[in-house]
Amino acid sequence: MRINLPTDLLRTLVTIVDTGSMVRASERVFLTQSALSLQMKRLADIIQRPIFIRHHGSLVLTPVGERLVARAREILVLNDNLVAEVGHGLAGPVRVGMTQDFADAILSGVLCRFKHLNPEVRLEIRVSNSDELTWLYASGMLDIALHLADPDASAACAKAQMVWLGDPDLLLQPILPLAIMTKPCRFRDAAVEALDSVGRSYVIALETPSISALRAAVESGLAATCRTVAFLGNQFKPLNLQCPLPEVAYMLSACPSPNTAISDIVELIRGSLKGL
Protein backbone atom coordinates (compact mmCIF):
# COMPACT_ATOMS: atom_id res chain seq x y z
CA MET A 1 0.00 0.00 0.00
CA ARG A 2 1.31 3.43 -0.96
CA ILE A 3 1.62 5.99 1.82
CA ASN A 4 0.96 9.67 1.14
CA LEU A 5 2.86 12.35 3.06
CA PRO A 6 0.60 15.42 3.54
CA THR A 7 2.31 18.56 2.28
CA ASP A 8 1.01 20.60 5.21
CA LEU A 9 2.91 18.34 7.60
CA LEU A 10 6.05 18.54 5.47
CA ARG A 11 5.76 22.34 5.35
CA THR A 12 5.45 22.48 9.13
CA LEU A 13 8.52 20.25 9.51
CA VAL A 14 10.61 22.49 7.24
CA THR A 15 9.36 25.57 9.07
CA ILE A 16 10.41 24.17 12.45
CA VAL A 17 13.86 23.35 11.13
CA ASP A 18 14.31 26.72 9.38
CA THR A 19 13.16 28.81 12.33
CA GLY A 20 15.06 26.72 14.87
CA SER A 21 12.28 26.25 17.38
CA MET A 22 8.63 25.44 17.90
CA VAL A 23 8.07 28.93 19.28
CA ARG A 24 9.23 30.73 16.14
CA ALA A 25 7.58 28.17 13.89
CA SER A 26 4.23 28.73 15.62
CA GLU A 27 4.52 32.48 14.92
CA ARG A 28 5.16 31.77 11.26
CA VAL A 29 2.37 29.28 10.57
CA PHE A 30 -0.11 30.76 13.09
CA LEU A 31 -0.58 27.50 14.99
CA THR A 32 -0.02 26.81 18.66
CA GLN A 33 3.04 24.86 19.78
CA SER A 34 0.80 21.99 20.87
CA ALA A 35 -0.74 21.87 17.38
CA LEU A 36 2.73 21.75 15.82
CA SER A 37 3.73 18.94 18.18
CA LEU A 38 0.64 16.97 17.18
CA GLN A 39 1.46 17.48 13.50
CA MET A 40 5.00 16.18 14.01
CA LYS A 41 3.67 13.20 15.96
CA ARG A 42 1.29 12.44 13.11
CA LEU A 43 4.13 12.66 10.57
CA ALA A 44 6.31 10.38 12.69
CA ASP A 45 3.42 7.92 12.96
CA ILE A 46 3.03 7.90 9.17
CA ILE A 47 6.69 7.07 8.49
CA GLN A 48 6.91 4.98 11.68
CA ARG A 49 10.25 6.54 12.59
CA PRO A 50 11.20 9.28 15.06
CA ILE A 51 11.90 12.64 13.40
CA PHE A 52 13.20 14.60 16.39
CA ILE A 53 14.96 13.72 19.61
CA ARG A 54 15.54 15.86 22.67
CA HIS A 55 19.15 16.87 23.31
CA HIS A 56 19.93 19.20 26.24
CA GLY A 57 16.40 20.57 26.07
CA SER A 58 16.46 21.25 22.34
CA LEU A 59 14.88 19.42 19.41
CA VAL A 60 17.45 17.71 17.16
CA LEU A 61 16.72 15.91 13.92
CA THR A 62 17.36 12.19 13.77
CA PRO A 63 19.20 10.83 10.70
CA VAL A 64 15.81 9.86 9.28
CA GLY A 65 14.54 13.36 10.07
CA GLU A 66 17.44 14.93 8.19
CA ARG A 67 16.70 12.87 5.08
CA LEU A 68 13.00 13.66 5.41
CA VAL A 69 13.66 17.42 5.58
CA ALA A 70 15.87 17.32 2.48
CA ARG A 71 13.22 15.47 0.47
CA ALA A 72 10.43 17.62 1.92
CA ARG A 73 12.08 20.74 0.53
CA GLU A 74 12.14 19.19 -2.94
CA ILE A 75 8.51 18.09 -2.69
CA LEU A 76 7.34 21.52 -1.54
CA VAL A 77 9.15 23.27 -4.38
CA LEU A 78 7.50 20.95 -6.89
CA ASN A 79 4.13 21.41 -5.21
CA ASP A 80 4.34 25.21 -5.15
CA ASN A 81 5.56 25.42 -8.74
CA LEU A 82 2.73 23.17 -9.95
CA VAL A 83 0.11 25.17 -8.06
CA ALA A 84 1.49 28.38 -9.56
CA GLU A 85 1.49 26.92 -13.07
CA VAL A 86 -2.04 25.49 -13.07
CA GLY A 87 -3.29 28.60 -11.32
CA HIS A 88 -1.87 30.82 -14.08
CA GLY A 89 0.95 31.99 -11.82
CA LEU A 90 -1.38 33.47 -9.23
CA ALA A 91 -0.88 31.22 -6.23
CA GLY A 92 -1.34 33.35 -3.13
CA PRO A 93 -1.26 35.00 -0.81
CA VAL A 94 1.62 37.36 -1.58
CA ARG A 95 3.33 38.39 1.65
CA VAL A 96 4.83 41.89 1.56
CA GLY A 97 6.80 43.62 4.30
CA MET A 98 7.98 47.23 4.41
CA THR A 99 9.06 49.86 6.91
CA GLN A 100 6.72 52.63 8.05
CA ASP A 101 8.60 55.09 5.85
CA PHE A 102 7.76 53.21 2.67
CA ALA A 103 4.27 52.23 3.83
CA ASP A 104 3.46 55.87 4.46
CA ALA A 105 4.98 57.10 1.18
CA ILE A 106 4.01 54.50 -1.44
CA LEU A 107 1.83 51.71 -0.01
CA SER A 108 -1.55 53.20 -0.91
CA GLY A 109 -0.63 53.80 -4.54
CA VAL A 110 1.05 50.41 -4.96
CA LEU A 111 -1.93 48.54 -3.49
CA CYS A 112 -4.42 50.40 -5.65
CA ARG A 113 -2.55 49.63 -8.87
CA PHE A 114 -1.83 46.05 -7.86
CA LYS A 115 -5.47 45.20 -7.06
CA HIS A 116 -6.45 46.66 -10.41
CA LEU A 117 -4.00 44.31 -12.16
CA ASN A 118 -4.61 41.26 -9.94
CA PRO A 119 -8.04 41.56 -8.28
CA GLU A 120 -8.11 37.85 -7.34
CA VAL A 121 -4.79 37.83 -5.46
CA ARG A 122 -4.78 38.17 -1.69
CA LEU A 123 -2.07 40.30 -0.13
CA GLU A 124 -0.68 40.07 3.40
CA ILE A 125 1.09 43.29 4.44
CA ARG A 126 3.54 43.51 7.36
CA VAL A 127 4.79 46.94 8.46
CA SER A 128 7.77 46.75 10.79
CA ASN A 129 11.35 47.89 11.33
CA SER A 130 14.19 46.95 8.99
CA ASP A 131 15.78 44.45 11.38
CA GLU A 132 12.60 42.42 11.80
CA LEU A 133 11.79 42.56 8.08
CA THR A 134 15.26 41.28 7.22
CA TRP A 135 14.80 38.36 9.59
CA LEU A 136 11.28 37.59 8.35
CA TYR A 137 12.43 37.54 4.73
CA ALA A 138 15.46 35.38 5.50
CA SER A 139 13.18 33.00 7.40
CA GLY A 140 10.84 32.61 4.45
CA MET A 141 7.98 34.47 6.12
CA LEU A 142 7.87 37.21 3.48
CA ASP A 143 7.85 37.02 -0.31
CA ILE A 144 8.90 40.66 -0.69
CA ALA A 145 10.73 42.94 1.74
CA LEU A 146 11.32 46.67 1.31
CA HIS A 147 13.49 48.18 3.99
CA LEU A 148 16.44 50.43 4.77
CA ALA A 149 20.14 49.61 5.07
CA ASP A 150 23.60 51.17 5.29
CA PRO A 151 24.61 53.09 2.14
CA ASP A 152 27.35 50.59 1.30
CA ALA A 153 24.86 47.68 1.06
CA SER A 154 25.75 45.76 -2.09
CA ALA A 155 22.21 45.00 -3.24
CA ALA A 156 20.71 48.48 -2.78
CA CYS A 157 18.15 49.41 -5.42
CA ALA A 158 18.48 53.12 -4.62
CA LYS A 159 20.06 55.55 -2.15
CA ALA A 160 18.94 58.80 -0.57
CA GLN A 161 20.60 61.50 1.47
CA MET A 162 19.49 61.92 5.07
CA VAL A 163 18.67 65.52 5.95
CA TRP A 164 17.63 67.60 8.94
CA LEU A 165 14.02 68.75 8.76
CA GLY A 166 12.08 71.21 10.88
CA ASP A 167 11.26 74.85 11.59
CA PRO A 168 14.31 77.08 10.94
CA ASP A 169 13.62 78.94 14.21
CA LEU A 170 14.66 75.78 16.06
CA LEU A 171 18.25 76.52 15.04
CA LEU A 172 18.19 79.57 17.30
CA GLN A 173 17.59 77.47 20.40
CA PRO A 174 20.72 76.57 22.39
CA ILE A 175 19.35 73.08 23.01
CA LEU A 176 17.84 71.52 19.91
CA PRO A 177 14.49 69.76 20.49
CA LEU A 178 14.62 66.46 18.64
CA ALA A 179 11.87 64.13 17.41
CA ILE A 180 12.94 60.52 16.88
CA MET A 181 11.46 57.07 16.37
CA THR A 182 11.79 54.35 18.99
CA LYS A 183 14.61 51.83 18.65
CA PRO A 184 15.66 50.22 16.40
CA CYS A 185 15.77 53.09 13.90
CA ARG A 186 18.52 53.94 11.41
CA PHE A 187 17.56 57.62 11.31
CA ARG A 188 17.56 57.86 15.09
CA ASP A 189 21.07 56.42 15.30
CA ALA A 190 22.35 58.75 12.56
CA ALA A 191 20.83 61.84 14.22
CA VAL A 192 22.25 61.13 17.65
CA GLU A 193 25.69 60.23 16.26
CA ALA A 194 25.82 63.38 14.11
CA LEU A 195 24.83 65.70 16.96
CA ASP A 196 27.25 64.07 19.38
CA SER A 197 30.09 64.27 16.85
CA VAL A 198 29.90 68.09 16.70
CA GLY A 199 28.96 68.61 20.35
CA ARG A 200 25.51 70.05 19.57
CA SER A 201 23.25 70.00 22.62
CA TYR A 202 19.83 68.44 22.15
CA VAL A 203 16.86 67.12 24.08
CA ILE A 204 14.47 64.42 22.94
CA ALA A 205 11.15 66.25 22.73
CA LEU A 206 9.32 63.34 21.12
CA GLU A 207 10.07 59.62 20.95
CA THR A 208 7.44 57.62 19.09
CA PRO A 209 6.89 54.37 17.16
CA SER A 210 4.62 56.27 14.73
CA ILE A 211 5.88 58.16 11.71
CA SER A 212 2.58 60.08 11.69
CA ALA A 213 3.34 61.42 15.17
CA LEU A 214 6.87 62.25 14.03
CA ARG A 215 5.50 64.23 11.08
CA ALA A 216 3.07 66.08 13.37
CA ALA A 217 5.90 67.11 15.68
CA VAL A 218 7.91 68.51 12.75
CA GLU A 219 4.94 70.22 11.10
CA SER A 220 3.96 71.92 14.36
CA GLY A 221 7.47 73.27 14.90
CA LEU A 222 7.85 71.27 18.10
CA ALA A 223 11.09 69.57 17.09
CA ALA A 224 13.54 68.82 14.32
CA THR A 225 14.18 65.35 12.99
CA CYS A 226 16.48 63.39 10.70
CA ARG A 227 14.83 61.74 7.72
CA THR A 228 14.77 62.19 3.96
CA VAL A 229 12.73 64.84 2.22
CA ALA A 230 10.74 62.14 0.44
CA PHE A 231 9.60 60.42 3.60
CA LEU A 232 8.23 63.53 5.29
CA GLY A 233 6.97 65.31 2.19
CA ASN A 234 8.38 68.01 -0.04
CA GLN A 235 6.82 70.78 2.06
CA PHE A 236 9.81 70.53 4.39
CA LYS A 237 13.05 72.27 3.52
CA PRO A 238 16.32 70.83 4.87
CA LEU A 239 17.74 72.64 7.88
CA ASN A 240 21.30 73.97 7.74
CA LEU A 241 22.27 72.35 11.03
CA GLN A 242 25.97 71.91 10.24
CA CYS A 243 25.80 68.27 11.35
CA PRO A 244 26.62 66.06 8.34
CA LEU A 245 24.41 63.00 7.88
CA PRO A 246 25.02 59.80 5.89
CA GLU A 247 23.06 58.36 3.00
CA VAL A 248 20.57 55.54 3.44
CA ALA A 249 20.06 52.61 1.08
CA TYR A 250 16.72 51.28 -0.13
CA MET A 251 16.64 47.48 -0.17
CA LEU A 252 14.06 45.55 -2.19
CA SER A 253 14.21 41.77 -1.90
CA ALA A 254 11.89 39.28 -3.59
CA CYS A 255 12.01 35.50 -3.35
CA PRO A 256 12.39 33.53 -6.60
CA SER A 257 8.93 32.32 -7.59
CA PRO A 258 6.84 31.47 -10.66
CA ASN A 259 4.04 33.49 -9.06
CA THR A 260 3.59 36.38 -11.48
CA ALA A 261 1.81 38.41 -8.78
CA ILE A 262 5.14 38.73 -6.96
CA SER A 263 6.90 40.11 -10.02
CA ASP A 264 3.97 42.47 -10.65
CA ILE A 265 4.12 44.05 -7.22
CA VAL A 266 7.93 44.24 -7.32
CA GLU A 267 7.73 46.28 -10.53
CA LEU A 268 5.08 48.54 -9.02
CA ILE A 269 7.28 49.13 -5.97
CA ARG A 270 10.32 49.87 -8.16
CA GLY A 271 8.32 52.38 -10.12
CA SER A 272 7.08 54.08 -6.94
CA LEU A 273 10.60 54.28 -5.52
CA LYS A 274 11.72 56.29 -8.55
CA GLY A 275 9.28 58.99 -7.52
CA LEU A 276 10.71 59.37 -4.03
Give residue 214's domain range.
163-245
| pLDDT confidence tier of residue 267, bands split at 50, 70 and 90 | confident
pLDDT in tens, 217-228: 998 889 999 988
Q: Are residues 71 and 142 in the same domain?
A: no
The model's pLDDT over 87-103, given as tens digits with 9 standing for 90+, comes to 655 455 788 898 888 88
Q: Give the pLDDT confidence of 228-256 residue by residue, as tens digits.
A: 877 666 666 788 888 889 998 888 888 77
- Residue 68's pLDDT band (boundaries 50, 70, 90)? very high
Given 55, 86, 117, which residue is the final one in a domain? 86
Please indicate, yes or no, if residue 135 is contained in any of the structural domains. yes
- Residue 13 lies inside a defined structural domain of this protein: yes
Whether residue 47 sits in one domain with residue 80: yes
What is the per-residue pLDDT for 203? Answer: 93
- State whether 112 and 146 are in the same domain: yes
Q: Rounded to an integer, what distance in angstroms lies between the CA atom of residue 182 and that of residue 70?
A: 41
Q: Name the most confidently modeled range: 18-32, 71-85, 112-126, 211-225.
A: 211-225
Whether residue 260 sits in one domain with residue 153: yes
Domain count, the chain: 3
Q: Are residues 34 and 72 in the same domain?
A: yes
* pTM for the structure as a whole: 0.64
CATH code of the domain in which 180 resides: 3.40.190.10
Query: Where residue 80 sits, what CATH number does that domain have?
Result: 1.10.10.10
The answer to whether position 37 is within a domain reads yes
225 and 254 both lie in a single domain? no
Shared-domain flag, residues 116 and 81: no
